[in-house]
Copies of this chain bind each other. A is one copy, B any other.
């Protein structure tokens, strides 16, 4: 069994998920967590170092898993770290993936490293299924539904409203539309009619529920145009029932294999913890990343550039028995 030595960069929810996930993998070893904060302030049993020390670990780490955010951290850190390390990230800004790929591919090739970008579930496993299903069923249509799950972006948007103490937003897929797709009925899929939004909000004292509700449901880009429900609750109930980070979703392709015959291809996830599952996907792609580097296949890869066999810790012979 090939052992893969991992470094975690960034210790938020995703970094903690990677730390937990590595413990479930006999072929993985965590060398250390690297943070911009003072290592003394990080609550973890694993070795923790300041990010400035990372180059000292160049020969002790096989793959770095980058656990920062896609808005600022990854675009800044990944191009630098890919010069000295193999990397896996979950850069999730779909629009910028092509140009990010190009940049990382050049750096990784020039420095004889492997960088797996945009791993996770969307982008990630959902991308694989969108592309595979389209290739198999060319006469058809793809539909992606998210939820039921917590959208951090929408929760943050509510929290920015004055008077809001705590808030969480659940994205709920339109089950009627999913059923219609399955039964072959025509649907008009638009993000705003394919999903609705459920909000749970705790107010500071002295603020008016109706006024805050209006601010939420009419918020452009986030809520306007969506069926939105706002539930006001107290802090105790919030802490008791709304501290988890569940998510999930489904990719459906409805295609025709001939004029008479419908084929329904469906991939779905129901996740108790979104960051822990994303971490689990990143760990599997870290395994692939290490192997590609051992085979000197340098450059950048997205999930669709990697054969499934690279993700499994089993030997080729063992895997072929599972086919």
Taking Cβ atoms with an 8 Å cutoff, the residues of A that contact B are: 17, 20-21, 24-25, 94, 97-98, 101, 118, 123, 125, 127-128, 130-132, 134-139, 182, 248, 255, 257-258, 260-273, 276-277, 279-281, 283-284, 287, 302-309, 311-313, 317, 319-323
Contact = CB atoms under 8 A, between A and B. Distances in A.
Nearest to A140: B24
Given A257-B273, A272-B263, A321 B98 contact: yes
B257 A17 contact: yes
A295 to B, nearest CB: 13
Contacts of A128: 308
Nearest to A254: B270
Contacts of A273: 257-258, 260-261, 263
Contacts of A123: 323
Nearest to A27: B138
A270 B264 contact: yes
Contacts of A305: 307-309
A266 B248 CA distance: 11
Contacts of A270: 182, 262-264, 266
B263 A269 contact: yes
B271 A268 contact: no
B24 A138 contact: yes
A307 B299 CA distance: 15
A321 B95 CA distance: 7
Given A98-B317, A257-B277, A260-B272, 5 more contacts: A97-B321, A125-B132, A135-B312, A261-B271, A262-B270
Contact of A269 (B265, B269, B312): B265
A304 B319 contact: yes
A265 B250 CA distance: 10
Contact of A323 (B25, B127, B284, B287): B127
Contact of A281 (B20, B127, B136, B260): B136
